[in-house]
Amino acid sequence: VAMPHARPECGALKTGMSLTLLEQGVYFPGNDEPIKLLIGLSAADADSHIGAIQALSELLCEEEILEQLLTASSEK
In single-letter form, the type of residue at position 4 comes to: P
CATH number, domain with residue 60: 3.40.930.10
Q: Which pLDDT does position 34 carry in this prediction?
A: 93
Tell me if 75 is assigned to some domain.
no
32 vs 7: which has the higher pLDDT: 32
Tell me if 63 is assigned to some domain.
yes
Estimate the share of the chain in helix, then strand, then coil, as percent rounded to the nearest 5: 30, 30, 40
Per-residue model confidence as pLDDT tens digits over 9-63? 777 788 888 889 998 999 988 889 999 998 888 888 888 788 888 988 898 899 9
Catalytic center residues: 5
Q: Which pLDDT does position 30 carry in this prediction?
A: 87
Helix and strand counts by DSSP (H, E) for the chain: 2, 3
Tell me if 61 is assigned to some domain.
yes
